[in-house]
């Protein structure tokens, strides 16, 4: 784990300017717009930017520059298979296998309820895919923060799911992220 802010900032600047991340942002925004996919009535880019911002905040938890670029790119496309009629191969053709693997891992299973869609198989796929836990926790942080800021009833659903979410995905590597998630969910009723 890196702690030198100069090294982290240099690596982060390189990841921010990477062609992979730029392509992922463009692709994700384009396919969400093409399917008229919204986030609480807003352009879906609002949510994707929040996920990306959390990834940038915790980028020091990633091991190297290649992982940073792939994880940041995956933040932009984490919902395109699930929500935008894109396939694993579509994502792979645009952004490569590693980013496509993360997007695929974060695609919910088929189910009628949230619990059926986020079942044991879903969580197993996330755990077994490099950096998918990182992106999923960034996604959850973004959803919880937005829900709290807007007074959405979804914050209660996230609070109720939090023990299972942590049971399935918690790791020491991402402890800081899970601590923030717990803090954000405190006081929800």
CA atoms within 13 A of residue 11's CA, in its CB half-sphere: 23
- Give the pLDDT of residue 188: 53
Provide the mean pLDDT of the chain. Answer: 91
Residue 65 pLDDT: 72
Coil/strand/helix, residue 118: coil
Residues 6+ apart with CB under 8 A from 153: 147
Q: Which segments within the chain are labelled E, that is strand?
A: 38-39, 42-43
Residue 172: DSSP 8-state: G
Give the model's confidence band at 45: pLDDT under 50 very low, under 70 low, under 90 confident, else very high.
Answer: very high
pLDDT value for 47? 97
Judge whether residue 168 has pLDDT over 50.
Answer: yes
Q: For the chain, what percent of residues have pLDDT higher than 70?
A: 89
DSSP code, position 109: P
Average pLDDT over residues 52-56: 96
The pLDDT of residue 1 is above 70: no
pLDDT in tens, 117-150: 999 999 999 999 999 999 999 999 999 999 999 9
Report yes or no: 80 and 103 within 8 Å, Cβ to Cβ.
Answer: yes
**7 pLDDT above the threshold of 90:** no
127: helix, strand or coil: helix
115 SS3 class:
helix
| Distance from C-alpha of 135 to C-alpha of 51, rounded to nearest angstrom | 8
Question: What are the structural domain ranges in the chain?
Answer: 5-185
pLDDT per residue over 82-126, tens digit each? 999 999 999 999 999 999 999 999 999 999 999 999 999 999 999
Note whether 60 and 1 are within 8 A (CB).
yes
- Which pLDDT score is estimated for 67? 87
pLDDT of residue 11: 52
Residue whose pair of structure tokens reads 């053709």 in the numeric block: 93
CATH class of 5-185: mainly alpha
pTM: 0.90
Query: For residue 38, is pLDDT > 60?
Result: yes
């Amino acid at each position: 784990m890196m702690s030198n802010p100069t090294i982290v900032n240099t690596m982060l600047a390189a990841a921010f300017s990477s062609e992979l991340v730029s392509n992922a942002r463009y692709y994700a925004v384009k396919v969400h717009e093409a399917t008229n996919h919204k986030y609480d009535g807003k352009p879906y880019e609002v949510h994707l930017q929040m996920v990306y911002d959390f990834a940038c905040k915790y980028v020091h938890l990633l091991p190297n520059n290649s992982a940073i670029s792939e994880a940041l790119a995956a933040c932009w496309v984490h919902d395109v298979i699930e929500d935008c009629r894109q396939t694993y191969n579509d994502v792979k053709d645009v952004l490569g296998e590693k980013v496509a693997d993360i997007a695929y891992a974060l695609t919910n299973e088929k189910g009628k309820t949230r619990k059926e869609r986020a079942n044991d198989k879903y969580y197993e796929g996330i755990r077994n895919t490099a950096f998918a836990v990182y992106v999923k926790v960034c996604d959850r942080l973004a959803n919880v923060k937005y829900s709290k800021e807007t007074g959405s009833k979804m914050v209660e659903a996230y609070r109720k799911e939090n023990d299972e979410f942590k049971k399935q995905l918690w790791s020491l590597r991402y402890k800081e992220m899970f601590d923030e998630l717990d803090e954000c969910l405190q006081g929800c009723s």
